[in-house]
């Protein structure tokens, strides 16, 4: 394996990986407040723009499982450089897109690069720093990643009003060029002399399953697919998932070993992550649409209203460890999941004449509960993994996180499309006329989130282990 980064370049390496993580998380949220403006520019309905978000999240979910092997096979420097180039080219293609279909294709290209930025950068940091310094290094890298969702919706709304929606992608171009040049100078080669064999068959089955199930779910709402095609995609996805499970139980080195699911905390945490994140993933899509289409907010105002969510989430990070240490994972996750579902359903009570302070308070409370949910779910999923399974478990968790985010947007769009005709709300409705569809969708998503508390009910009521504080720090670095 190539030598790790020299001490002189290690600090620059951290900044390089941190900026890459910031670019990835920024573009996962910056488009949310710009969707109505993008829809008007492209001649589409704002309620049918979910593919712009889903395509990015789904591409990342598909690529993440292969990122470790790709970095071992071709080297961290080469792969990280390629990731930045793909991300930058995808950003330019997004800005130049003349139609929704072109924009979705460009987001896929952008997602190909974005999916490799954090996993490959994290691997480079792991090789450059001794284990006793790794957590501190990754905490530094994670901070810009937490800032990305903080400024993304606000920056997106401001750019839409000050210039045009194209600039939410064009701002990536100079950063991408500088990042590519910095990669060539500061990123170590990091290529493995004998990379492990890649489970290509299992990876293909898993990708087919994720794509088929996600497209089927999205087809129920916004893609206009016929019911028969949706049913066939569902069957294909379930068949591919079953085939992968049987394949993984047979081959000696599968992509994700079924032995991971022998740990009760991992399988409960992973399934809880998937279903609870449907609600959490739907909100960054639904709230800006609700504010602009039904409440009369401008893009910049809608983006500013998301600031209390992010600020309260950052503040809650300091309290998570002590809360879990006192009450334990099972109680915290059951109670917090119920509270999260109630918060989501509570957004259905919003009215145009609601006082601003009450709206800000509601957003902040949701941000705090949502942050607690993310950290507790991530930590309980990873806390009992031994070193031999830590890498595979972490990759599977990252994949499920992105898959859950995409599914949340698809579910929200599907519910809006379904409730609209039932409640007499047309696709072009605006102002108070559009509120009934949003209220019904928020109530349904809140109910589903509350039901997912039953998954965490299956956790054993055991006291936290002494190393859970360290695991919690690692989980926050991952998020």
pTM value is 0.79
* Range 253-257 average pLDDT: 80
Confidence of residue 102 (pLDDT cuts 50, 70, 90): very high
* Range 175-183 average pLDDT: 90
Q: How many CB atoms lie within 10 A of CB 429?
A: 18
292 Cβ contact list (under 8 Å, min separation 6): 33, 36, 46, 298, 299, 302
Closest listed residue to residue 165, CA positions, set 122, 120, 212, 103: 103
C-alpha 43/C-alpha 100 separation (Å) is 9
Low-confidence winner among 167-176, 340-349, 432-441 (lowest mean pLDDT): 432-441
* Range 300-310 average pLDDT: 86
* Cα torsion 71, 77, 80, 86: sign: negative
Confidence of residue 477 (pLDDT cuts 50, 70, 90): very low
**For residue range 310-334, what is the model confidence (pLDDT) as tens digits?**
888 888 877 887 888 888 888 999 9
Low-confidence winner among 149-158, 299-308, 349-358 (lowest mean pLDDT): 149-158
Closest listed residue to residue 351, CA positions, set 341, 343, 359: 359
* Range 440-445 average pLDDT: 92
445 Cβ contact list (under 8 Å, min separation 6): 278, 279, 282, 286, 344, 345, 408, 411, 412, 415
Query: In this model, does residue 471 exceed pLDDT 50?
Result: no
User: To the nearest whole percent, how much of the chain has pLDDT over 70?
Assistant: 86
More confidently predicted of 28 and 9: 28
More confidently predicted of 410 and 385: 410
49 Cβ contact list (under 8 Å, min separation 6): 35, 38, 39, 100
Which pLDDT score is estimated for 250?
Answer: 85
Confidence of residue 145 (pLDDT cuts 50, 70, 90): low
C-alpha 146/C-alpha 475 separation (Å) is 13
Confidence of residue 191 (pLDDT cuts 50, 70, 90): low
* Range 106-133 average pLDDT: 81
Confidence of residue 476 (pLDDT cuts 50, 70, 90): very low
Is the separation of the CB atoms in 51 and 214 below 8 Å?
Answer: no
Query: In this model, does residue 140 exceed pLDDT 80?
Result: no
Which pLDDT score is estimated for 150?
Answer: 72
* Range 381-410 average pLDDT: 79
């Amino acid at each position: 394996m190539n030598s790790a980064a020299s001490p002189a370049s290690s600090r620059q390496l951290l900044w390089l990986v941190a900026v890459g993580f910031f670019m990835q998380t920024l573009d996962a949220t910056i488009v949310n407040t710009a969707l109505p403006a993008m829809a008007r520019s492209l001649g589409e309905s704002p309620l049918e723009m979910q593919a712009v978000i889903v395509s990015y999240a789904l591409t990342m979910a598909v690529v993440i499982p292969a990122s470790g092997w790709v970095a071992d096979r071709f080297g961290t420097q080469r792969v990280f450089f390629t990731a930045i180039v793909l991300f930058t080219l995808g950003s330019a293609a997004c800005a130049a897109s003349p139609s929704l279909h072109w924009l979705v294709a460009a987001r896929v290209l952008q997602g190909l690069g974005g999916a490799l930025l954090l996993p490959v950068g994290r691997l480079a940091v792991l090789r450059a720093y001794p284990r006793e310094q790794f957590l501190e290094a990754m905490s530094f890298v994670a901070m810009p990643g937490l800032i990305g969702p903080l400024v993304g919706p606000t920056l997106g709304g401001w750019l839409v009003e000050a210039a045009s929606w194209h600039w939410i992608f064009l701002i990536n171009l100079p950063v991408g060029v500088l990042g590519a040049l910095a990669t060539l100078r500061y990123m170590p080669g990091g290529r493995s002399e004998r990379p492990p064999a890649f489970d290509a068959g299992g990876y293909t089955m898993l990708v087919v399953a994720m794509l088929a199930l996600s497209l089927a779910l999205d087809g129920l709402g916004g893609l206009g697919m016929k019911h028969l095609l949706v049913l066939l995609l569902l069957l294909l996805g379930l068949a591919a998932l079953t085939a992968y499970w049987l394949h993984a139980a047979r081959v000696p080195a599968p992509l994700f070993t079924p032995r991971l699911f022998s740990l009760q905390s991992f399988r409960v945490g992973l399934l809880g992550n998937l279903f609870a994140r449907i609600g959490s993933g739907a909100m960054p899509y639904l709230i800006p649409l609700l504010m602009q289409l039904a409440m009369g907010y401008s893009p910049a105002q809608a983006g500013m209203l998301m600031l209390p969510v992010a600020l309260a989430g950052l503040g809650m990070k300091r309290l998570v460890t002590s809360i879990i240490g006192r009450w334990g994972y099972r109680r915290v996750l059951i109670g917090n999941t119920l509270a999260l579902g109630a918060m989501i359903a509570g957004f259905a009570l919003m009215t145009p004449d609601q006082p601003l302070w009450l709206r800000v308070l509601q957003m902040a409370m949701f941000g705090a509960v949502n942050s607690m949910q993310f950290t507790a779910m991530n930590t309980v999923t990873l806390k009992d993994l031994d070193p031999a399974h830590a890498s595979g478990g972490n990759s599977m968790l990252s994949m499920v996180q992105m898959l859950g985010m995409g599914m949340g947007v698809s579910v929200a769009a599907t519910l809006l499309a379904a409730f609209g005709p039932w409640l007499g709300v047309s696709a072009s409705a605006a102002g108070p006329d559009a509120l009934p569809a949003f209220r019904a969708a928020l109530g349904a998503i809140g109910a589903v989130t509350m039901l997912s508390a039953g998954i965490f009910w299956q956790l054993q009521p055991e006291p936290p282990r002494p190393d859970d504080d360290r695991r919690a720090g690692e989980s926050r670095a991952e998020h």
